[in-house]
């Protein structure tokens, strides 16, 4: 049945009303899911929609958006962002600018945009530059409203007048170069909860003070970060330390840090840090107990006596450990000595009553690895699953023999399940 003209108009009005009468926060949420240029196009829908997009609290100029504009010309890109900010009204709660893939981008334009957003109440700021030569301007450091700051490829040099980030909750710094200041740079961030360093340089020039810090991630940085500045972070629950660079830290400082974290729940240490901790003689009992730790992730050279013995001591010093992940780095060196050690009752002379889940990545099926798995099966009365993830594809016969041997290991837990994941190469 065909509608009359009047009925068609009524239907169209109903459709418009249903959208236009949605709560403003719902409309904002819909527009924020669109690319900025598509959100701007909604201004032609009606007079009611003309300025809605220009009042969006979140402006996300991501890599895809920036690359599409820059592919037309540098002028079009700069002019478009200028117009977006010029037409915007109200506070900017979140601002993301990703020019990391744009070559030879003029930094004065970024400075101008940073001035604008920091003067308009920005709380979440993400800036991804293209080279590590962009100096973070002083108005970013002096922005009191910031709660989230993420920087990529920048030079981090706070002004002399910098007192800290009073409201910052999350700080993520990737490929950042810290510049030495006349005095040791102390950043006071009383509300900081999450701190991440990725591929950073000269972190020794940075000291962040936050009694509320809950998560600390240091990955692939040129490791000269001062561990002692985190020893007062009594609320730290997650610690991730991983690097492929030579370690200049001291074993005593790392042990003191672990000793100073009473509620640590998740700990990740790569093989380099385990090597640092196991340097010299490994004590029969560690100088700290991780009573709240439930998840332990370790990179282990499972053929090195120091690392494997320290791994077992860490496990024994975590009485509430529920999940254990091992990333096997190597299996060579003192294979026979380590195998004999793992085959003795003294290397793990107590049951691991709380350990339920074990995951071993990059498993190669070496003798030391098999002894390690056998030991855990025998000492975990509450174990639910042992997941073995193979490092590389092997011959079907060799692989079958490894799985058969693993399946034959006696288990302290009647519920323990062996999950073997062959490499798909």
Angle at 62 between CA 56 and CA 66, to 5 degrees: 110
Asked if 210 contacts 189 with a C-beta cutoff of 8 angstroms, the reply is yes
Question: What's the confidence (pLDDT) of residue 148?
Answer: 98
For residue 12, what are the contacts with CB-CB under 8 A and spacing of at least 6? none
What average pLDDT does this structure show over 235-245? 88
Q: Residue 262 pairs with which residues in a beta bridge?
A: none
pTM: 0.84
Confidence of residue 204 (pLDDT cuts 50, 70, 90): confident
Q: What sign does the dihedral 110-113-119-121 (CA atoms) show?
A: negative
Asked if 214 contacts 238 with a C-beta cutoff of 8 angstroms, the reply is yes
Question: What's the confidence (pLDDT) of residue 59?
Answer: 87
Q: Quote the CA–CA distance of 134 and 151 in Å, as a whole number.
A: 10
When comparing pLDDT for 344 and 11, which is higher?
Answer: 344
Q: Quote the CA–CA distance of 131 and 293 in Å, as a whole number.
A: 39
Confidence of residue 88 (pLDDT cuts 50, 70, 90): confident
Please spell the DSSP secondary structure of 372-425, one letter per residue. Answer: HHHHHHHH-TT--EEEEEESS---HHHHHHHHHHHHHS--S-TT-EEEEE----
Closest CA to 235 of 195, 263, 267: 263
When comparing pLDDT for 251 and 410, which is higher?
Answer: 410
Whether residue 330 has pLDDT greater than 50: yes
When comparing pLDDT for 182 and 14, which is higher?
Answer: 182
By DSSP bridging, strand 385-390 and strand 357-363 are parallel
When comparing pLDDT for 251 and 144, which is higher?
Answer: 144
When comparing pLDDT for 376 and 55, which is higher?
Answer: 376
Closest CA to 153 of 98, 75, 73, 85: 98
Whether residue 333 has pLDDT greater than 60: no
Question: What's the confidence (pLDDT) of residue 19?
Answer: 57
| Phi, psi (rounded to 5 degrees) for 188 | -90, 115
Confidence of residue 44 (pLDDT cuts 50, 70, 90): very low
Question: What's the confidence (pLDDT) of residue 179?
Answer: 82
User: Domains in the chain and their CATH numbers?
Assistant: 22-56 (no CATH), 262-424 (3.80.10)
Weakest-pLDDT range from 96-100, 282-286, 332-336: 332-336
Question: What is the H or E stretch that residue 151 is in?
Answer: strand 148-156
364-403 per-position pLDDT tens digit: 888 899 999 999 999 999 999 999 999 877 667 888 888 9
Question: What's the confidence (pLDDT) of residue 183?
Answer: 62
Q: Residue 357 pairs with which residues in a beta bridge?
A: 323, 385
Asked if 158 contacts 141 with a C-beta cutoff of 8 angstroms, the reply is yes
Question: What's the confidence (pLDDT) of residue 278?
Answer: 85
In total, the chain counts a number of residues equal to: 425
Work out the mean pLDDT of the chain and round it to a whole number.
83
Question: What's the confidence (pLDDT) of residue 221?
Answer: 63
Question: What's the confidence (pLDDT) of residue 1?
Answer: 42
Question: What's the confidence (pLDDT) of residue 245?
Answer: 63
Give the rounded distance of the alpha carbon of 109 from its chain centre: 30
Confidence of residue 55 (pLDDT cuts 50, 70, 90): low
97-135 per-position pLDDT tens digit: 999 988 766 788 999 999 999 998 899 999 999 876 789
Scored b (16 or more CB within 10 A) or e, 228-256 reads ebbeebebbbbbbbbbeeebebeeeebbe
| Phi, psi (rounded to 5 degrees) for 131 | -135, 165
Weakest-pLDDT range from 240-254, 277-291, 393-407: 240-254
Question: What's the confidence (pLDDT) of residue 247?
Answer: 52
Whether residue 85 has pLDDT greater than 70: yes
Question: What's the confidence (pLDDT) of residue 299?
Answer: 94
Whether residue 328 has pLDDT greater than 50: yes
Whether residue 50 has pLDDT greater than 60: no
Whether residue 11 has pLDDT greater than 60: no
Tokens 């719902």 correspond to 26
Closest CA to 314 of 328, 332, 300: 300
Question: What's the confidence (pLDDT) of residue 279?
Answer: 81
**Phi-psi category of residue 44: left, alpha or beta, with phi > 0 → left and psi -120 to 50 → alpha:** alpha
């Amino acid at each position: 049945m065909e509608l009359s003209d009047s009925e068609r108009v009524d239907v169209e009005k109903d459709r418009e009303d249903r959208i236009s009468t949605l709560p403003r926060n719902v409309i904002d949420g819909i527009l924020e899911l669109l690319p900025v240029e598509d959100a701007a196009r909604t201004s032609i829908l009606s007079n009611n929609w003309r300025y809605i997009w220009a009042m969006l609290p979140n402006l996300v100029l991501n890599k895809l958006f920036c690359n599409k504009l820059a592919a037309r010309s540098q002028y079009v890109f700069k002019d478009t962002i200028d117009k977006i900010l010029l037409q915007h009204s109200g506070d900017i709660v979140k601002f993301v600018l990703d020019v990391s893939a744009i070559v030879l981008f003029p930094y004065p334009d970024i400075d101008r945009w940073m001035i604008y957003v920091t003067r308009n109440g920005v709380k979440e700021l993400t800036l991804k530059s293209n080279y590590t030569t962009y100096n973070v301007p002083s108005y970013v450091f002096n922005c009191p409203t910031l709660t989230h700051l993420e920087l990529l490829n920048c030079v981090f040099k706070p002004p002399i007048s910098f007192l800290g980030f009073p409201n910052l909750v999350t700080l993520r710094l990737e490929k950042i170069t810290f510049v030495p200041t006349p005095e040791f740079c102390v950043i006071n961030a009383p509300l900081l909860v999450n701190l991440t360093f990725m591929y950073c340089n000269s972190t020794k020039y940075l000291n962040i003070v936050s009694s509320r810090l809950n998560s600390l991630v240091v990955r692939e940085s040129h490791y000269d970060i001062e561990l002692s500045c985190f020893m007062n972070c009594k609320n730290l629950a997650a610690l991730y330390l991983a690097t492929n660079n030579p370690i200049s830290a001291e074993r005593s400082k790392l042990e003191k840090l672990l000793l100073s974290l009473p509620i640590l729940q998740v700990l990740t240490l790569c093989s380099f840090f385990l090597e640092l901790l196991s340097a010299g003689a490994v004590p029969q009992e560690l100088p700290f107990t991780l009573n709240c730790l439930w998840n332990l992730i370790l990179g282990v050279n499972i053929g090195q006596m120091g690392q494997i013995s320290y791994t077992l001591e860490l496990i024994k010093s975590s009485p509430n450990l529920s999940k254990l992940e091992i990333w096997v780095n190597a299996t060579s060196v003192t294979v026979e000595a380590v195998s004999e050690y793992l085959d003795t009752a003294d290397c793990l002379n107590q049951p691991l009553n709380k350990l339920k889940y074990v995951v071993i990545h990059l498993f190669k099926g070496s003798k030391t690895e098999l002894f390690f798995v056998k030991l855990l099966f025998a000492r975990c009365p509450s174990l639910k699953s042992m997941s073995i993830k193979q490092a590389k594809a092997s011959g079907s016969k060799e692989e079958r023999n490894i799985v058969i041997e693993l399946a034959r290991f006696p288990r302290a837990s009647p519920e323990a399940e062996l999950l073997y994941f062959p490499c798909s190469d």
